[in-house]
Every structure is written in C-alpha cells, then in structure tokens.
Structure 1
Amino acid sequence: MRLIGLLLVAAGLLAACTAFAGRWVLALDTFASFMPLFGVAVLLGLLLARTRAALALSVLALIPVGVAVLPEWTRPIPAARAAQVRIVTHNVWHDNPDPAETAQTILDAHPDVVLLQEANGTFRPMLAALRQSLPYATDCPADCELAILSRWPIGERDYFLKDHAGQSFGPPLLWARIQPPGAPAFTVATLHYVHPGPEQAKRRAELALALAGVPHDDWIVAGDMNLTPWAAAMREQDAALAPLTRFTRSLASWRRPVPVLPIDHLYAGPDWGLADARRLPATGSDHYPLLVRIGRR
C-alpha cells in the first residue's frame, strides 16, 4: 500500500505541475480543470504511503494546487442590499432526452430571467411552454442556439453587438434590455464558448473588447463558458471583463449525474451585488442549471 500511495502522490505532483504550466502553454491549461482532483489524489496517496518522501512530494504537489484553487475562495464578490432579480442560466443540451422535465425545473425556480444555451435541439419546443410564465423573449436566427426569456418586458435586443453603422462585432452573443416595472432597466446577455483552445481564446478576447466598447455597469453576462475557475484562462477573463465580477463561485455544473466541473458562470457589472447562487436539481441536460439571485448595490 505504501508503494501505491507513493505512486499516487508522484502522479498527482506530475499532473499538478503539468496543469500549472497552462499559465504559459495554452494546450496544458485544460488539465487545470481537474486541479482540485489532483489535490485529492495527493492527499489520498499521502494517507496510504505515510513516509517522509511522500510528505515531501505532497508539499511540492499542493503548492500549485493551492495557488490555483485558493484564489477562487478568497476573491471578493460584492453583496446585494436585497435579492431583486432571479436569473437561471442553463445549457439545456442539444440531445436532451427529457425537455419537459427540464422546462419544469426551470419554472419551479420562479426565475425573472432565463438564459439558455443549446436551445436549438430537442428542447426547442419547450420554449413556447416557458413563454406561458415568461412571456417576453428574444428572437434569434435559425442557426442560433441561444435564448433569453423574461417575466418583464424586453426593449432593445439583438444577436451580436452592433456598432453605429449596424456592423456586428464581438463573439456570438444574444442580448436583451430588460425593463422591470418601477425599476431601472438592465441588460442581460448569454453566450456559449467552444472547448478550451485557440478559438475559445479568440472569443474571450473578442468579448472583453466588445464589452469595453459599450456601457456595461448594469450588464449581466452568463452562459456555458467551458472554463473552470482554476484555469489560467478564467483568471485572464476575470481580469479582462473587469469591472464586471463573476458571481458564481465554484458551482460544479457538469457533468450529470455527478457534477465535478464548474463551467457555467455569471458575471455582473458594478451596479449589482450577489444575494446567493446555487445549483438547481438535475434535468435532462448533461449540465445542471444555476440560479443566481442578485440586487442593486
């Protein structure tokens, strides 16, 4: 057992160092998604080995794990004075085998705004059902997989941001201006990144540049970002999207039935504070839906 434990610690050290190198080598950053699991493997190996060599290797392994994971738990998130807006974000999955159950789970959360990804598959017929309770919705081209539904009226809306000449800029992004009665209007947007790699890096850079070009203090941006909080790419995005703040903190949302990776996220501008964020019950999707309650600061 000691040999097995020592090998487990050594493997955890190698994996953690490889993942940490993703700060400099984009192709390795994908491994950072599993950084907490590498830490668990190291601790389990130390428990089995119980040798000085295992202890020394464990300390070395837990340094990159700690550097990657701890900032997620210590970063500040502004608090709301009161919960005023309930937002559900959910990748409903193209091949969802139970779209009706998925729609019911969304409705049971009593959301004010719903942001959906992969809504152009088996879930599409359920959009009409959702509109019984969320009567305001965005239009999107036939090849668009995104959807926004709202309990409150929607003003301006579009697919992609547009400049004064009407030219699209930024990544594929569905946005809408929500107009709650008796309260200031605000903008919500949803998007779906491809898997980590050069194309995703391009879209992340486009998003940061696009948001920098519009008034974004009251913006809320959420979706399936295919990034975990301990990836270098996520830290880069957090910095690039400032003053928007990521309100989701390590909410594992993929993959059903045992969620391990927190890859669905919500950002909000400086007008907003967080009341709470939680994972909703499993649906027919391979992702779990998230409910985020926010309010004005």
Structure 2
Amino acid sequence: MIICLSIFSDFTKPADVVILIALSINVIYLFYLIFPFTIFGKKQIVSSKLSNNENNLRLLIANVYQENKKSSAYYGLIEKCQPDIILLVETNKWWQNQMDTLEKEYPYQIKVPLENTYGMLLYSKLELSGEVKYLVEEDIPSIETDVKLASGQTVKLFCLHPQPPVPQENPRSTERDKEILLVAEKAKQCNLPVVVMGDLNDVAWSYTTELFGKISGLLDPRRGRGFFNSFNAKYFFLRFPLDHIFCSPDFSLSSIKRLKSCGSDHFPMWVNLQFNPQAKDLNHIPEATEEDKALAEEKINTPT
C-alpha cells in the first residue's frame, strides 16, 4: 500500500502527503510491536542446556474446530509427539467419544465437552488434581489443576479459552480480558511453578497479552524465536499467534514447534518445558508498573 501510494500519490496535494506519512508511522509502530517475536528480539526464556529428564513437561494444545471430523489426524500427531499433556479445545461430546481411546495411555483427564465451541478436554500421563472453573461466564469453562511431574515436582496448570471479541458473538473484549487477567493474578499469587495454556483469542503482541505477562510474571517462549502463527491454518497469507503457552521463570525451554494442520482452522502447538529453578536467574521476567496493576484491576472489576 505504501509503495503504491509513493508511486501514484500527488505530492503537491497535502492530503496525499498526510495519508502517506500516517501509513508510514503505522507501519513503524506495528514493526515495533512485533519485533520482540522475531529472531532478532531478546529471548524471554532461555533454552535448556540439559537433556530431557524427569523435570520435562511436554505440552500439546490444539483447537480442533468443533465441526472438524478428522479426529484420526490428531491420533497420528499424538503418536508422533508423545506429549505428557494434551489440551483439546472446541470439543463437544462427539470429540470426547472420538478421543476416548487416549484414556489408555493418558489415565488422568478433566473433560468439559460442550456444544457451544468452548468445550475442553485435558488428557495427561502425569497425575492431575484439579477442577473446572467458570471465572467470568457461566458457559465458558477453564481448568485449574496441579500436575505432578515424573520427578515429583508439582506444577500449577491453567487452561483457558475465552470468548473472542467478534461481532457475531460478542463485540466487546471485556469478558476475554477479564478472564485472562484473572488467571494472571492467580498465577502471580501461586507458590508453585506455573504454566498457562490455551487459545486466548488474542495475538501475542496485543496490549492485553502484554499486560497479562506483566501482571503474572510469566514468560512467552516465542519471544526471540518467531511468531509461530497458529491461526488461520486455511489461509497462508493471513495468520496470527492465538494459541499460547506461558510459564513461570523457573522453567527453561527444550523446544517449541507449530505442528501440521489436522483439518482445523488452528495449527496445533507443541512446547517442551523443563523445570529448572536455576533458569530464574537467566530469564527476563516482565514486571508490572503501578499503572499496569491499576489498569488490570479496572479491567477485572469492569461489569460484564
């Protein structure tokens, strides 16, 4: 657009000059926002120097798209990746029935199948102790659970999928922002290592996600490594990072991957974290200002 305007604009007309300058400023600002997620940005979480061990936590998150019927594709993906924990969202009773075979290898489950595209299925090889929460809306669940690593270390896991601010569902972002920031406060107050995963319906560089990081003190493994755009899998030219996995500073990163499409409009995401308290001294921990804290409280207390 800017190139076309530069070629075809009439620079004797003030309006053309103003439009070109405004667009240029906008592009510079957008580049400023996304730069931390390029390979030139600073890594927020350090790479693990240790081989996989009993402190590793292999996570797979997939928004399956409720109307998608390619459940067998996810079985193939799971067989290849061998995650410790699987979170499937947009899952109804049909999806629960299709994935029941997982229970043999994943004996711990928390299942909330729903027909409103906000169902969640959590499968784990590791021991779970948790419950389903309805933090903001009575038909939008989240999951809060303790996970016992093979080493015996307990980790707090939050799984969420808030409603997106879209005209056909909800034109406001109030409920989404409130749920995200409520989880941020829970994570900050938790005395255990924390992992948050889910389809947040928000890009990684948005103001709300940035605020989530500052309030929670959690780290984004994509920073300094790439966008890992997970949506929309059906359009190669218009994709955004909507599926997230965050962790507390006492983790290092073994690997992060965007996996192949399985028929959904979202790509599955894979993150392999390693609990390592020594990493806390090396990781770059986001900090909230008093203004950030006040804004978060305002959003949390806004009536829905």
**Band of TM-score, shorter chain:** 0.7 to 0.9
- What is the CA RMSD across the aligned residues, in angstroms? 3.1
Give the 5 Å matches for 1:129-278: 129-140=101-112, 145-154=119-128, 156-160=129-133, 172-196=141-165, 197-216=173-192, 218-242=193-217, 244-249=218-223, 250-258=227-235, 260-278=239-257
Q: Is the 8 A contact 2:106 2:125 kept in 1?
A: yes
The verdict on how the C-alpha distance between 1:282 and 1:47 changes in structure 2, with shifts beyond 3 A counting, is farther
Shift, 1:141, TM fit = 7.3
The verdict on how the C-alpha distance between 1:173 and 1:81 changes in structure 2, with shifts beyond 3 A counting, is farther
The verdict on how the C-alpha distance between 1:58 and 1:51 changes in structure 2, with shifts beyond 3 A counting, is farther
Q: Is the 8 A contact 2:231 2:266 kept in 1?
A: yes
Shift, 1:61, TM fit = 3.5
Mapped partners of 2:213, 2:151: distance in 1: 32
Secondary structure in 1 matching 2:104: coil
Residue in structure 2 matched with residue 30 of structure 1 by the alignment: none
Q: Pick the aligned partner of 1:126 from 84, 94, 98.
A: 98
Q: Pick the aligned partner of 2:268 from 276, 286, 289.
A: 289
Q: Is the 8 A contact 2:43 2:221 kept in 1?
A: no
Q: Amino acid of the residue matched to residue 224 of structure 1?
A: D
Shift, 1:130, TM fit = 1.8
Q: Amino acid of the residue matched to residue 4 of structure 2?
A: G
Secondary structure in 1 matching 2:95: coil
Secondary structure in 2 matching 1:295: strand
Q: Is the 8 A contact 2:147 2:154 kept in 1?
A: yes
The verdict on how the C-alpha distance between 1:176 and 1:67 changes in structure 2, with shifts beyond 3 A counting, is same
For residues 153-179 of structure 1, what are the alpha-carbon distances to aligned partners after superposition, in whole Å with 9 as ceiling and x for unaligned? 32x2111299xxxxxxxx842133222
Mapped partners of 2:132, 2:234: distance in 1: 32
Q: Is the 8 A contact 2:251 2:273 kept in 1?
A: yes
Q: Is the 8 A contact 2:65 2:90 kept in 1?
A: yes
Work out whether 1:107 is the aligned partner of 2:79: yes
TM-score by length of 1: 0.72
Shift, 1:290, TM fit = 0.5
Work out whether 1:45 is the aligned partner of 2:7: no
TM-score by length of 2: 0.71
The unaligned stretches of length 5 or more in structure 2 are 12-16, 166-172, 277-304
Shift, 1:85, TM fit = 2.2
For this pair of structures, how many residues does the alignment match? Answer: 247
Q: Is the 8 A contact 1:102 1:284 kept in 2?
A: no
Secondary structure in 2 matching 1:131: helix
Residue in structure 2 matched with residue 63 of structure 1 by the alignment: 28
Q: Is the 8 A contact 1:248 1:265 kept in 2?
A: no
Q: Amino acid of the residue matched to residue 192 of structure 1?
A: H
Q: Amino acid of the residue matched to residue 86 of structure 2?
A: V
Work out whether 1:76 is the aligned partner of 2:76: no
Shift, 1:75, TM fit = 4.3
Q: Amino acid of the residue matched to residue 149 of structure 1?
A: Y
Secondary structure in 2 matching 1:275: strand
Q: Amino acid of the residue matched to residue 278 of structure 1?
A: K
For residues 162-221 of structure 1, what are the alpha-carbon distances to aligned partners after superposition, in whole Å with 9 as ceiling and x for unaligned? 9xxxxxxxx8421332223334222222110111312212212322233333324x1111
Q: Amino acid of the residue matched to residue 214 of structure 1?
A: C
Q: Amino acid of the residue matched to residue 78 of structure 1?
A: I
Secondary structure in 2 matching 1:246: coil
Secondary structure in 2 matching 1:253: coil
For residues 53-99 of structure 1, what are the alpha-carbon distances to aligned partners after superposition, in whole Å with 9 as ceiling and x for unaligned? 69866643432122221133324322233342211011112111212
Q: Is the 8 A contact 1:89 1:115 kept in 2?
A: yes
The unaligned stretches of length 5 or more in structure 1 are 1-7, 10-43, 163-170
